């Protein structure tokens, strides 16, 4: 957290220190007294200034529509409906969801980021330059792995097997979390994505990957265990990943998001996760990081 002293805060706000002390005394400005010294969180000062903006008649502060974008997930989509949150779903992949969040087009983005150095969502959010008020809420940990035809006729047990056997792999679009996972694993193996037998065009969701395998257009693909179970496919685990909701801090306190977070703590989602398989609800509703 970036904390300013009284002098720094006065310079930042272009106020005299005397005026700043008057605001402090009136309880009219965000601040905290630590060991006898007033400190001012910079991001709270930004919000304080924005909250007092004068707007022309008829102009209201823009609020993001009640939509959760980003990555597709069976348990999340069920929770949006069952929680009574009123939140709709728009699934286009992790990076597309983050882009919409930055443009104010959605309230939150479901993300599962994978970097070349095995980084996860927290590292991704903490280095984002354009989302200074980010909040990352834990949803689940979930299994990602290889989806395979029933009986696994090619005997695939790893990504190395896929590469060596020249099995046709259903890939995802650039920016999708599953594609980031694949690219990172290939990089660690020293294999170029161009060396794979790829199904084109790319599939836009895990269920699309499952459909391509069911229809015989692909031999395998990467998606969640729940996607494999729903399609009656075999599954080989590659990793467990964090699947989280990224939003702006102010959005967290809106009724739709509060309804969803409260639902994450209930028994109904525990039973649904067990039925779908491949989920660990330990992080559900926790604040993983904020900026």
pLDDT reading at 65 higher than 80: yes
pLDDT band at 277, cuts 50/70/90? Answer: very high
The whole-angstrom separation of Cα 80 and Cα 68 is 9
Give the tens place of pLDDT for each residue, 23-63: 999 888 989 888 889 999 887 887 777 666 555 554 444 67
pLDDT band at 117, cuts 50/70/90? Answer: low
The whole-angstrom separation of Cα 156 and Cα 154 is 6
Q: Where are the beta strands (DSSP E) in the chain?
A: 3-4, 32-34, 37-41, 67-70, 88-91, 108-111, 134-148, 168-172, 197-203, 220-224, 234-248, 279-280, 287-290
Q: Which domains are assigned to the chain?
A: 3-51 (3.90.105), 64-291 (3.40.190.290)
pLDDT winner (highest mean) among 27-41, 122-136, 274-288: 274-288
Q: Lowest-confidence range among 111-115, 150-154, 242-246?
A: 111-115
Asked if the bond preceding 201 is cis, omega within 30° of 0, the reply is yes
Give the tens place of pLDDT for each residue, 131-178: 668 899 999 999 999 999 999 999 999 999 999 999 999 999 999 999
Give the tens place of pLDDT for each residue, 169-187: 999 999 999 999 999 999 9
Contact between 242 and 112 under an 8 Å Cβ cutoff? The reply is yes
In a 3-state reduction of DSSP, which class is residue 41? strand
Once rounded to an integer, what is the mean pLDDT over residues 100-110?
93
Q: What is the pTM of this model?
A: 0.77
pLDDT band at 287, cuts 50/70/90? Answer: very high
Compute the chain's Rg from CA coordinates: 23
CB-CB neighbours of 2 under 10 Å: 11
Structure-model confidence comparison of residues 106 and 116, the more confident one: 106
Give the tens place of pLDDT for each residue, 184-232: 999 999 999 888 999 999 999 999 999 999 999 999 999 999 999 999 9
Give the tens place of pLDDT for each residue, 246-255: 999 889 999 9
Angle between helices 267-276 and 74-82 (to 10 degrees): 150
Question: How confident is the model at residue 129, as a pLDDT?
Answer: 65
């Amino acid at each position: 957290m970036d904390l300013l002293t009284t002098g720094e805060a006065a310079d930042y706000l272009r106020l005299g220190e005397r005026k700043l002390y008057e605001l402090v005394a009136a309880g009219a400005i965000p601040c905290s007294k630590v060991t006898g010294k007033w400190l001012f969180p910079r991001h709270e000062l930004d919000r304080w200034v924005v909250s007092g903006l004068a707007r022309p008649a008829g102009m209201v502060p823009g609020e993001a529509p009640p939509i959760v974008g980003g990555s597709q997930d069976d348990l999340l989509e069920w929770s949006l409906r069952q929680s009574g949150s009123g939140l709709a779903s728009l699934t286009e992949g992790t990076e597309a969801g983050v882009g919409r969040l930055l443009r104010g087009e959605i309230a939150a983005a479901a993300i599962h980021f994978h970097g070349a150095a095995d980084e996860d969502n927290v590292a991704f959010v903490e280095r984002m330059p354009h989302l200074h008020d980010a909040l990352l809420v834990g949803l689940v940990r979930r299994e990602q792995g290889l989806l395979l035809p029933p009986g696994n006729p090619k005997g695939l047990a790893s990504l190395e097997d896929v590469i060596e056997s020249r099995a046709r792999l259903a890939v995802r679009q650039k920016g999708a979390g599953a594609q980031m996972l694949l690219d990172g694993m290939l990089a660690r193996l020293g294999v170029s994505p161009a060396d794979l037998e790829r199904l084109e065009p790319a599939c836009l969701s895990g269920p699309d990957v499952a459909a391509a395998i069911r229809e015989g257009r692909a031999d395998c693909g990467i998606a969640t265990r729940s996607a494999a179970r729903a399609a009656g496919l075999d599954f080989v685990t590659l990793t467990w990943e964090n699947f989280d909701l990224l939003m702006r801090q102010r959005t967290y306190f809106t009724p739709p998001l509060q309804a969803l977070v409260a639902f994450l703590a209930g028994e109904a989602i525990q039973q649904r996760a067990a039925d779908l398989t491949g989920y660990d609800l330990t992080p559900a509703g926790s604040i993983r990081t904020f900026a």
